[in-house]
Amino acid sequence: MDHVISKTSAAKIADLSAQAAQAQDVVSNDKKANAAVVAAPAANSNTGMPVEDLITIRKDHDEWVDGAYARSNAALYTLMARCLDAYQRMVGKPAQITAFHSECDRAGLSFKKSTGVLQRIVSYVFAGAGRRRTSAYTRVLVVAHKAKIVPDELHVWIAREGGVEEIRRKGSEGLTAKQKMEANVAAATSAVASATPFTVIEGAKLYMPEASTKFVAALARTTSDGSLEVIGFVTDDATEPIDNTRQIAQSVTTRADFGLPKDAVVLCCFNNSYKISPREFVIWMRLLGKIEGSVLWLLKGNKWAVANLRKEAVRQGIDPLRLIFADLLPHAEHLARHKHADIFVDTFNYNAHTTTADALWAGLPVVTKQGNQFAARVAASLLSAVGLPELITQNETDYEALILDLATSPHKLQALREKLAINRLTQPLFDTKRYTRNFEAGLTAAFDLYHTDQDPQDIWV
């Protein structure tokens, strides 16, 4: 529908614009004048509930704009102090914040969901002052709140800092929002990699013990001053959601169909060949030397990778034909062929991620060595979530010893398979619905913290 503005309406709008322009001139950078400001104590104007106070403050602002004292910094700072006081009494009280949002709706003010409570308060009270001014006032109050300035001392603090515009200017210097976000993500990534207690942003401490297999997901939020902060939450299930409706082909196959010996131990690693480093490959070759007739079943990459791996096997004294390479198959058939392997042996620097999930879903035990950075800890997380922590090792010696023990102890290996068959249907790893609900709970908790203007904090789901 087109909007038609009458001459009378246009005149009123022009008059309101003139009033707003006058209001925008109230902030002075005259430090001498600011230093002499003596504002009325905020507490004297805020004896009731925060929302009721804000309605009164808004009326006082309208009178201030219309009055002869519109250029008085003292009056402006008093209004700002009363806003800060109402905000501080509203923080952590969802019912009060909800009531205030309803009052904003009643007043015809609409905000983005990401708009903070303090910014809404300033926009509500100083309606018509213009975006630049309300942004400046919001910035001042955000900085004051973080600096733990009490409302009664706000006017003195503003004067000491050089005035509203000076505080706003200082706040806009330094990193851009994009740069802050990149720095926060880098900090979170670095912290996860080192697996030590860390702080993503001020006030948000995320704990990650050295031996933990839990991982941190970092979320970003936009604050009222336009900067981006990271909020983190921890889930005890796994590093990734896993679809528990994937089909495993029911076709009947034998080891011979894949070029595998009928009765020998088959060590398997379906990781991409670029994940294989000399450290684990040497161990695999030693294991082939210790386990009579055993073979190593690998995923076929390009012809150069196949040739180089077989050449390295020869250097380690192993017949290159004991390395058997698997062609790519449709996913359901790929899952089905896992039943012909005995043990999935993991890579070190870059674990099997989805590949570990595939093996476990297909019923194949996975042995891993837990590393220090994210990519080297994923398999340990998945094994913990499926209830098989006994397959997680901490060093290369234990990794090799565990594989050798299982490969030469059929009863132990069978017991693990039976345990996995039960756990895959009862443990958290493949409980997709539980993962989804926990993830949603974490997002909701972070969202609630933001919209009740609380400081970032750990979220456990």
Beta strands 266-269 and 459-460, pairing class? unpaired
Give the model's confidence band at 348: pLDDT under 50 very low, under 70 low, under 90 confident, else very high. very high
Q: Are 336 and 266 in contact (CB under 8 A)?
A: no
Cβ neighbours, 10 Å, residue 329: 13
Q: Which two tokens stand for residue 91?
A: 């923080």
Task: Write the pLDDT tens digit of every residue in 364-394.
Answer: 999 999 988 878 888 998 999 899 999 999 9
Task: Write the pLDDT tens digit of every residue in 160-205.
Answer: 888 777 777 775 555 444 444 444 444 444 433 333 333 333 323 3
The whole-number pLDDT of residue 136 equals 82
Q: What is the DSSP letter of 22?
A: H
Give the model's confidence band at 312: pLDDT under 50 very low, under 70 low, under 90 confident, else very high. very high
Q: 342, 334, 338: which is closest to 288 by C-alpha?
A: 342
Least confident of 22-31, 42-51, 71-80, 352-361: 22-31
Indicate the burial class of 433 (C-beta count within 10 angstroms; 0-12, 13-18, 19 or more).
exposed
Q: List strand residue ranges (DSSP E) for 173-306, in order.
A: 198-201, 204-206, 215-222, 228-235, 266-269, 295-299
Beta strands 459-460 and 392-393, pairing class? unpaired
Least confident of 105-109, 173-177, 207-211, 372-376: 207-211
